[in-house]
């Protein structure tokens, strides 16, 4: 039997709108592992948040991996160790914080275990509610960062156009320094140059010695596109953004609230009718 790797996004894909995981999706993922295949959670979230969901799924075992920070870190769930990581230079983080403040945009980053922010805000409250992560508030960027951050996240809950304009006007600065993309309508991410879920997929195919022809990926947002393109079968959720559906090999019939991930698993991984 040729081993396959299933790469699955969290928010809007594996997770329902209420951020829970259905029993049907849980069962399907367990069947993938029992059949001897690999399962990879691929998320923009921090390692700590992704690891919590892996524990809920019961996939902190051999054959289970996590792509965190949109490809900035690759984590072995069974060994509890980071296999590979990239970070943003501190001067890039300082620049983004300064520019976000000029634009009146909320921005945050991460330590190994916590969200790091410079003020209490509605954006922080919403993010913490979604991810259940602990946090720390610091008065300035210099007290916030004592090491290079994994990524910077700008959040606007009500004005995606403002984030789009920020991205557009900083494209010249970004070129050759880092990579930006939207992971939802509210989140504009700035990650290390070349750090994408697609790059994470290729890293794990090499690490696990599995042909890219035996990869299946499922996602719904712009940050999932590189992963869907690099997988042999890239599946977009029916609730995905239109640009994601356009790049996908398959679009699910069921959405994230009705077990779309299980649909992909039974059709392409386990190949059950």
Q: What is the pLDDT along the chain (273 residues), one digit of tens a residue?
A: 689 999 999 999 999 999 999 999 999 999 999 999 999 999 999 999 999 999 999 899 999 999 999 999 999 999 999 999 999 999 999 999 999 999 999 999 998 889 999 999 999 999 999 998 999 998 877 777 878 999 999 999 999 999 999 999 999 999 999 999 999 999 999 999 999 999 999 999 999 999 999 999 999 999 999 999 999 999 999 999 999 999 999 999 999 999 999 999 999 999 875
Task: Tell me the domains of the chain and their CATH numbers.
Answer: 5-85+195-269 (3.40.50.1000), 90-192 (3.30.1240.10)
> pTM for this structure?
0.92
Beta strands in 104-169 (DSSP E): 106-110, 115-117, 135-137, 152-155
Res 273: pLDDT: 56
Taking alpha carbons only, the member of 80, 84, 41 closest to residue 62 is 80
CA dihedral 186, 258, 71, 160 (to 10 degrees): -10
Res 257: pLDDT: 97
Res 35: pLDDT: 96
Q: How many CB atoms lie within 10 A of CB 159?
A: 13
Q: How many CB atoms lie within 10 A of CB 203?
A: 16
Res 99: pLDDT: 97
């Amino acid at each position: 039997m040729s081993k396959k790797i299933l790469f699955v996004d969290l928010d809007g894909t594996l997770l329902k709108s209420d951020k829970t995981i259905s029993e049907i999706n849980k069962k399907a993922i367990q069947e993938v592992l029992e059949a001897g295949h690999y399962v990879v959670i691929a998320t923009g979230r921090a390692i700590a948040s992704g690891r919590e969901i892996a524990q809920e799924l019961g996939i902190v075992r051999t054959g289970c991996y996590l792509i965190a920070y949109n490809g900035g870190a690759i984590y072995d769930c069974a060994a509890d160790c980071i296999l590979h990581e990239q970070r943003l230079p501190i001067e890039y983080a300082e620049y983004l914080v300064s520019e976000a403040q000029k634009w009146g945009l909320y921005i945050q980053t991460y330590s190994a275990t916590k969200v790091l922010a410079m003020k209490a805000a509605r954006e922080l409250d919403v993010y913490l509610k979604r991810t259940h992560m602990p946090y720390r508030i610091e008065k300035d960027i210099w007290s916030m960062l004592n090491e290079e951050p994994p990524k910077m996240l700008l959040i606007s809950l009500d004005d995606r156009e403002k984030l789009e304009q920020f991205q557009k006007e900083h494209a010249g600065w970004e070129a050759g320094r880092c990579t930006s993309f939207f992971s939802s309508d509210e989140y504009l991410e700035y990650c290390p140059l070349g750090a994408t879920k697609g790059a994470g997929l290729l890293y794990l195919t090499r690490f696990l010695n599995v042909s890219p022809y035996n990869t299946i990926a499922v996602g719904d947002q712009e940050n999932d596109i590189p992963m869907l393109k690099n997988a042999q079968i890239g599946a977009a959720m029916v609730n995905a953004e239109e640009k994601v559906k356009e790049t996908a090999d398959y679009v699910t019939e069921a959405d994230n609230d009705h077990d779309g991930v299980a649909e992909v698993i039974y059709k392409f991984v386990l190949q059950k009718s």
